[in-house]
Structures are given as structure tokens and as C-alpha cells.
Amino acid sequence: MTIGATKMKNRNAKQRMGVMAPARNRTADAPTYQRVLTKFGFLPKNATIAEAWGMWGLVCEDAKVRTMAQAIEKPRHRVLASITPGYGFYGQVLSTMTARQLNALKRRVGIA
């Protein structure tokens, strides 16, 4: 190997699975929906996964959140728009909401 040469990764190498797989390097053990709810103040940091899932259901059932998520969704075909947009859109909806809208949502869900 010469000076300045970089090590190339073999793209054709098979990924090891099972017992021989390398250890996973997880940055956070919490599910994505729990991290989103904690980020926007719907849950405390020490909430359980069950509490987070219940709160996520309440937030996603809100009519305003659902309509905003459907507005964000851009289907490939107009006819095939999904009835329920994926959970990824709900995180985007919460990030686009103002502080006043988030507080109103917290009141509707029953937090504040």
C-alpha cells in the first residue's frame, strides 16, 4: 500500500449475518416515534415504549395532524394516494407546526 492510497471497500463482499455478524452500533435504543415525541415535548425522556406508542396513536389520530400529513404526502400516482400516510409524514408535520399549534395539539391530546 502506498502513501496516500485509500482502502477500497469490496462492494461484492457478502454481509455477515447471524452469529458472525458484527455488533450493531445503535445510537439510540428508543424507537423513532418515541424520539420524535420526546423532541417535541409530548413525552418525558424516561417514558416507556408502551406509553410512547399510546401517545403516538393519539397524536396521529388528531384530525389536523392527519390532514397536514396527507398534504405533505406526494403520491407517485394521483389515483393511488394512500388512505393513511406513513408515520414518517407525522414527524414532518410536528416539525412544521408552530409553538402555538403544538400547544393546542398537546391540549387536544390531553397533556397540558
Residue 58 in domain: yes
pTM: 0.64
Residue 51 in domain: yes
Average pLDDT per block of 10 residues along the chain, 112 residues long: 58 72 66 88 92 93 88 67 61 91 94 80
Residue 19 in domain: no
Residue 93 in domain: yes
Residue 10 in domain: no
| Counted domains in the chain | 1
* Beta-carbon contacts of residue 38 (< 8 Å; ≥ 6 apart): 30, 44, 45, 47, 52
Residue 96 in domain: yes
Residue 76 in domain: yes
